[in-house]
Amino acid sequence: MTTKELRIGLIGGGRIGKLHGRNINTSVPGARVLCLAETMLNDEHKAWADDVGIPKVTEDPGDILNNRDIDAVFICSPTDTHADFIIQAARKGKHVFCEKPVHTDIQKIKAALAEVDKAGVKLQVGFVRRFDHNHRKVRDTVASGILGKPHIVKITSRDPEGPSLDYIAVSGGIFMDMTIHDFDMARYLAGSEVTEVMAYGAVNIDPGYRKYGDVDTAAVMLKFENGALALIDNSRAAHYGYDQRTEVHCDKGCVQAVNDLNDTSMISAAEGVLCAKPTWFFLERYNNAFIAEVIDFVDAVNNDKKPPVDGNDGMMAVYIAIAAGKSLKENRPVTLGEVMA
Amino acid sequence: MTTKELRIGLIGGGRIGKLHGRNINTSVPGARVLCLAETMLNDEHKAWADDVGIPKVTEDPGDILNNRDIDAVFICSPTDTHADFIIQAARKGKHVFCEKPVHTDIQKIKAALAEVDKAGVKLQVGFVRRFDHNHRKVRDTVASGILGKPHIVKITSRDPEGPSLDYIAVSGGIFMDMTIHDFDMARYLAGSEVTEVMAYGAVNIDPGYRKYGDVDTAAVMLKFENGALALIDNSRAAHYGYDQRTEVHCDKGCVQAVNDLNDTSMISAAEGVLCAKPTWFFLERYNNAFIAEVIDFVDAVNNDKKPPVDGNDGMMAVYIAIAAGKSLKENRPVTLGEVMA
Amino acid sequence: MTTKELRIGLIGGGRIGKLHGRNINTSVPGARVLCLAETMLNDEHKAWADDVGIPKVTEDPGDILNNRDIDAVFICSPTDTHADFIIQAARKGKHVFCEKPVHTDIQKIKAALAEVDKAGVKLQVGFVRRFDHNHRKVRDTVASGILGKPHIVKITSRDPEGPSLDYIAVSGGIFMDMTIHDFDMARYLAGSEVTEVMAYGAVNIDPGYRKYGDVDTAAVMLKFENGALALIDNSRAAHYGYDQRTEVHCDKGCVQAVNDLNDTSMISAAEGVLCAKPTWFFLERYNNAFIAEVIDFVDAVNNDKKPPVDGNDGMMAVYIAIAAGKSLKENRPVTLGEVMA
Amino acid sequence: MTTKELRIGLIGGGRIGKLHGRNINTSVPGARVLCLAETMLNDEHKAWADDVGIPKVTEDPGDILNNRDIDAVFICSPTDTHADFIIQAARKGKHVFCEKPVHTDIQKIKAALAEVDKAGVKLQVGFVRRFDHNHRKVRDTVASGILGKPHIVKITSRDPEGPSLDYIAVSGGIFMDMTIHDFDMARYLAGSEVTEVMAYGAVNIDPGYRKYGDVDTAAVMLKFENGALALIDNSRAAHYGYDQRTEVHCDKGCVQAVNDLNDTSMISAAEGVLCAKPTWFFLERYNNAFIAEVIDFVDAVNNDKKPPVDGNDGMMAVYIAIAAGKSLKENRPVTLGEVMA
């Protein structure tokens, strides 16, 4: 393994950008963020950069893209800018870590992946849940083959609270914004490609979702090439905490993982037995996974390995999300073939 | 409460008939089986009847239906005989406990229910899982309203081993034979009527299922009048034991129940931590529920109450099973309206 | 295996006598209670006997002891009558099932065991917890040797509510009345004999215990011949239910068992996660164990096997209880040798 | 809250010193290690210091004690040097974080505490388990009073593997080296002072312990001023991982916490149900607690608060360990009064 430090430029100083920035500078050996580019730069960004040891801040992403001292770019800006930044970074020979989804427009994604290919740089997409200790154990068990072929994949994914309706207006809909993680997880767990999608949705929590043609509750079934079936359920309101469970039923048995809890306590009294709640949201549940995915990205770049989640993974999840949206709208099963044509 | 003993005639001496017969004579106060009618009567039936204290056995169900000392009939014969026996029993003024499904032919069911109505006798259908302590706790929590309106219903139902292919040939298909329990459970948990069904199926375990147009793995989604969505998954092969779990996610929280286990042991060693398996099959998991449903039936008869699972419940589950079969065949969502028309 | 029915006489119609009587007549194949002898016989006893199918009731235990049609006697009368009834039954050639403790007076026990030996009848003592599915799994795991030699035995045993102070006055003290089950369990789990006892006690629940020199909270340590150490904790007030847990830490790992619960439900809400409570008390937790111990007794008698809990087991537990009482009183470790001398 | 950075000198570059050094420089805001003093300094220490950003290393602790730029000292050197370093640091007006045990010699501890008092500096002792999320939840529940008065405290503490016999030779014995954590935990959970100790011990794992008069398996009972009783069990060999469980049974109920696991997976197959093992050892289990205790120390210094574990806490645990050693040796209960006299 090489010991050269990977020099990183961070585009986007929002919640997820800050998360990566802090993680890289405190918990990822062999990598360092040299610059934050944030078009809406303010004092708070500057203070944060200072606190986590990022020496430079700028309003201009070009300061990163054109900086020859920067080896890799983390794209944490709004989704509709992802593809363009990937293209620019690739042309400058920089490796790319891009948050999910790669983009909502398949043609844009294809153009970006082509540029990445041409440049021979690494591209990793931020499907962080693959790096969670629980889901990974489920997947590794399936992949080991000890349980035989997968038959049924189950994913429960519920947020403790929904985003603002302002965000819903621009989110791309529940399948592109939230379920896309589950679509990637389904492919990851099943070890096979999705062939068909059937999506149900409902507005059970906040009537405001209707205004944007979106739903706050969803149930989705998938068919896979290998014969497996998947069932996914989503809710924008699990007031008890982030509910993230996975399960694969196979030929010879079943593997499942439940939530991480705040602690392992149990209080028994006449009124009942009280246990700890799940961790609150993704910062609590997936922080170690966020670190692990970056460690793997650094390893892929420094040691010329295939990134663990690549551009094709990013694109396939978008295809499934598009099919799910079409299925919900037309109330019929939609094949991947239809949307990939 | 009256103390008069309910005198029961048992039609059908197969596995489920014997189960009820033994339970009634050992564990149901205020009821007694006086006669077993089994058209294929053999010595084994006679020995069994003697052992559990049933004084009379016969090959002729008429000996029960025409016996004025018998108050109620348990119909545990093959499904295609159910409706006729209900009709005959009702005409003789006898109360009826009928195993699931009531019948596979809706017209036959309607005729039977009409006769029951006319005679003013009680009819209970054997959806035993409603009486399981775990599922009941889930339903009671939802019904109490403390969690608000249900949004998502999840049911996992997997048998440890499939029946013989001979049985598959006459079973009516997985939805009528196996998932029908889950369709009833979904209505029970959601407290609402199903409006639409989408069914996926696969043959993952035994290619022999294809010969009969059946599947061994199924995933089903339901829509309810109250806006809830349900996801059901079935497998004919859960080699670790009977996998019977239910969950309802609601406005204010989620209630779920997992399997009963053989014991509560945990063995921790360098190789891993080993826990007990779920109970093996329905005899182990639902035996107390089988007793509880009969106690409630006896109570309904003796005290003139509405049976906890009535003829309409029996018919609705059959409608959903028919819609599911149609959905699987035509690969599209099927409304209940379509099949009820 | 012989098929002759074992004819049983039941001495004592209190709570535990009724428990055995009903179990034998409904759930133990090959055995039947023919007669109940209860010196304080009342109408309630008669109605109960009628209900469970015991044809005869009497005030005179002699009606059982002298009845040549009776093969075995269940002694469920007050503790201070146990030894005498054992002796009389043995002299009449009757097998004996005796509730715990055999007696509180070691000389009486020795006399009774000698008579049993001389008569060649079977004697089983009612340490029912050995037949619980959870504790048995712990013991079987240890006995199998897969974890190697036992090092530490842990037993938690807490009643949901204490008995009346009137009962405390005559109970023989917590060690003879309550912990005696744990002393037997400790021997059962460790597979070794106790050599020394150190007992701590406290009155934390009800000051009334002081009046009788008793305690309501206890902690006991035991040393075993095989080098293992045991820790037992008792409370007379676990308001959440019957708390009965066992654990053995061994060379290669640890096996433990926790409580049976009322159901497997989990209710997750903003306020917390609520699970089911343990079963309430011994009738709920150990009913299957009560049946299993009698099935084994019947088997031992009918097939001339050693009873699974014999007279020596009964006596050893009493020795340990005596040593514990002495330890508490004198605040020092007491060897079994001291009290057995 | 002041924003001045706390400048720390680290004495001792062994396992625990490195743990604190790395934590402070990566995960404790407002504090920074400026210097490592290690009398056996080698290249590995230098590389480590460089890696975690400690600018200076030295063989001479005096370089820390005499450095006016250093505000606080972390004492992570061998136990028999603790008291002297505390005294020297206090005389120089430096705050002190001292690893457990403070010292094994009570007179030395008293001298150190007197010097700390005189200097008016802060002293915190490294009983890290108080900062574990699980144990803390147990304690907070008890301290909240919702369960009433504590009756029984149970602590299980087992290491996955014992230290080398070379270490055993100088460890001070199991009670001073290992159980001392549990003695502190018992005081923390019970919220009361220990009055008496009874200790049992055995050599079950490695006969080599006998040579040093030590044991590898221990069971200890404690009495508290408030009437509670405690039971502690220890083993030097829990091959399944670090076994760290606590429980307090109270007037109105019981609170307990079990181990953190590597993940939440469950693999169900015909052979059994396999779950994840506990985290391996203290680095895995208590890393967050190690960070939390230092954050609290920094807060105590910067904001002039009482440290959460003070010198008296450190001394009381040593008294109990001394009493336990005496109890084991003399096989009798030993009061704290005896050893404090």
pLDDT in tens, B230-244: 999 999 999 999 999
Cβ–Cβ < 8 Å for A194, A222: yes
Could B133 and C257 be called an inter-chain contact, meaning their C-beta atoms sit closer than 8 Å? no
Residue A139, both tokens = 């997947």
pLDDT at A3: 56
Handedness of CA B17, B22, B27, B30 (dihedral sign): positive
* Count of Cβ atoms closer than 10 Å to residue A19 Cβ: 18
pLDDT tens digits, B125-160: 999 999 999 999 999 999 999 999 999 999 999 999
pLDDT at B2: 41
Q: How far is A150 from chain D (nearest CA, A)?
A: 13
pLDDT tens digits, D38-73: 999 999 999 999 989 999 999 999 999 999 999 999
Confidence of residue B4 (pLDDT cuts 50, 70, 90): confident
**CA-to-CA distance for A294 and B21, rounded, in angstroms?**
64
Residue D159, both tokens = 């290491």
Contacts of C137 in chain B (CB under 8 A): 263, 265, 276
% of chain C at pLDDT higher than 70: 99
% of chain D at pLDDT higher than 90: 97
Is pLDDT at A59 greater than 70 in this prediction? yes
CA-based end-to-end distance of chain C: 42
Residue C89, both tokens = 């039954």
**CA-to-CA distance for B167 and B14, rounded, in angstroms?**
14
Torsion angle in degrees (nearest 10) through CA of A86, A91, A93, A97: 0
Cβ–Cβ < 8 Å for C121, C98: no
Interface of B with D in 159-188 (CB under 8 A): none
Residue B163, both tokens = 């029946």
pLDDT tens digits, C95-129: 999 999 999 999 999 999 999 999 999 999 999 99
**Which residue from C137, C138, C252 is facing B269, i.e. has the nearest CB?**
C252
Across the range D135-139, mean pLDDT stands at 98
With 0-12 / 13-18 / 19 or more C-beta atoms within 10 angstroms meaning exposed / middle / buried, residue C212 is middle
The mean predicted confidence, pLDDT, of chain B is 97
Question: CB-hemisphere CA count at 13 Å for A169?
Answer: 4
Across the range B51-70, mean pLDDT stands at 96
What are chain B's partners, defined as 3 or more CB pairs within 8 angstroms?
Answer: A, C, D
Listing DSSP states for A265-283 in one string gives: EEEEETTEEEEPPBPSSHH
Residue type, D234: N
Across the range B297-307, mean pLDDT stands at 97
**CA-to-CA distance for C307 and B133, rounded, in angstroms?**
35
Listing DSSP states for D128-145 in one string gives: GGGGSHHHHHHHHHHHHT
Cβ–Cβ < 8 Å for A85, A116: no
Cβ–Cβ < 8 Å for B220, A246: no
3-state helix, strand, coil in chain B (%, to 5): 40, 25, 35
* Count of Cβ atoms closer than 10 Å to residue B195 Cβ: 15
Q: Is A268 on the interface with D (CB under 8 A)?
A: yes
Contacts of B130 in chain C (CB under 8 A): none
**CA-to-CA distance for C81 and A301, rounded, in angstroms?**
84
Is pLDDT at A11 greater than 80 in this prediction? yes
Confidence of residue A341 (pLDDT cuts 50, 70, 90): confident
Bridge partners of A7? A32
Token look-up 């309003």 returns A59
pLDDT tens digits, D170-185: 999 999 999 999 999 9
Cβ–Cβ < 8 Å for A19, A42: no
pLDDT at B26: 87
Of C280, C250, C251, nearest in space to C154 by CA: C250
ipTM: 0.96
CA-based end-to-end distance of chain A: 42
Q: Is B238 on the interface with A (CB under 8 A)?
A: yes
**CA-to-CA distance for B229 and A82, rounded, in angstroms?**
34
To which H or E segment does residue A337 belong? helix A336-340
pLDDT tens digits, C225-248: 999 999 999 999 999 999 999 999
Q: How far is A5 from chain B (nearest CA, A)?
A: 38
* Count of Cβ atoms closer than 10 Å to residue B44 Cβ: 10
Sort strands D272-275 and B272-275 into parallel, antiparallel or unpaired.
antiparallel
Is pLDDT at D1 greater than 70 in this prediction? no
Is pLDDT at B91 greater than 90 in this prediction? yes
> Measuring CA to CA, how many Å separate D267 from each of D237, D241, D264?
26, 19, 10
pLDDT tens digits, D12-45: 999 999 999 999 998 998 999 999 999 999 999 9
Residue A169, both tokens = 């207006």
Residue C194, both tokens = 């106790």
Is pLDDT at B275 greater than 90 in this prediction? yes
**CA-to-CA distance for A305 and A296, rounded, in angstroms?**
9
pLDDT at D18: 97
Across the range D280-297, mean pLDDT stands at 97
Residue of chain D with shortest Cα separation from B268 = D240
> Measuring CA to CA, how many Å separate B129 from each of B78, B188, B220?
20, 10, 19
Instruction: Name the DSSP class of D256.
Output: E
pLDDT tens digits, B309-325: 999 999 999 999 999 99
**CA-to-CA distance for C148 and C145, rounded, in angstroms?**
5
Q: How far is C250 from chain D (nearest CA, A)?
A: 8
> Measuring CA to CA, how many Å separate D243 from each of B130, C245, D229?
40, 17, 21
Torsion angle in degrees (nearest 10) through CA of A303, A305, A307, A313: 170
**CA-to-CA distance for D284 and D271, rounded, in angstroms?**
29
pLDDT at B3: 57
pLDDT at D2: 41
Of D49, D28, D35, nearest in space to D290 by CA: D28
> Measuring CA to CA, how many Å separate C206 from each of C161, C210, C281, D148, D254?
11, 8, 20, 14, 18
Cβ–Cβ < 8 Å for D208, D216: no
Could D152 and C219 be called an inter-chain contact, meaning their C-beta atoms sit closer than 8 Å? yes
pLDDT at D150: 98
Across the range A7-32, mean pLDDT stands at 95
pLDDT at A1: 37
Residue of chain B with shortest Cα separation from D265 = B273
Could B253 and C268 be called an inter-chain contact, meaning their C-beta atoms sit closer than 8 Å? yes
Contacts of D256 in chain A (CB under 8 A): 265-266, 268
Is pLDDT at B64 greater than 60 in this prediction? yes
Across the range A132-139, mean pLDDT stands at 98
Residue C314, both tokens = 């009964």
Cβ–Cβ < 8 Å for C54, C26: no
Diameter over CA atoms, chain B: 67
Cα A235 from chain centroid (whole Å): 17
Residue C58, both tokens = 């009497």
Q: Choose between B325 and A26: higher pLDDT.
A: B325
**CA-to-CA distance for D6 and C332, rounded, in angstroms?**
51
Q: Is A148 on the interface with B (CB under 8 A)?
A: no
Cβ–Cβ < 8 Å for A108, A294: no
Diameter over CA atoms, chain D: 67
Sheet strand arrangement including C56-58: C56-58, C31-37, C6-11, C72-75, C95-98, C123-125
Residue type, B97: F
Listed in sequence order, the residues at least 6 apart from D296 whose beta carbon sits closer than 8 Å to its beta carbon are D124, D131, D307, D308
Across the range A203-220, mean pLDDT stands at 97
Is pLDDT at A295 greater than 60 in this prediction? yes
Token look-up 């059901």 returns B232
What 3 state SS string does A93-162 have? CCEEEECCCCCCCHHHHHHHHHHHHHHCCCEEECCHHHHCHHHHHHHHHHHHCCCCCEEEEEEEEECCCC
Is pLDDT at C311 greater than 90 in this prediction? yes
Q: How far is A333 from chain B (nearest CA, A)?
A: 7
Q: Choose between C202 and D1: higher pLDDT.
A: C202
Could C202 and D227 be called an inter-chain contact, meaning their C-beta atoms sit closer than 8 Å? yes
What 3 state SS string does C274-334 have? EECCECCCHHHHCHHHHHHHHHHHHHHHHCCCCCCCCHHHHHHHHHHHHHHHHHHHHCCCE
Q: Is C213 on the interface with D (CB under 8 A)?
A: no
Listed in sequence order, the residues at least 6 apart from B289 whose beta carbon sits closer than 8 Å to its beta carbon are B128, B129, B130, B131, B132, B133
pLDDT at A2: 41
pLDDT tens digits, A222-234: 999 999 999 999 9
Residue B131 three-state SS: helix
pLDDT at C2: 41
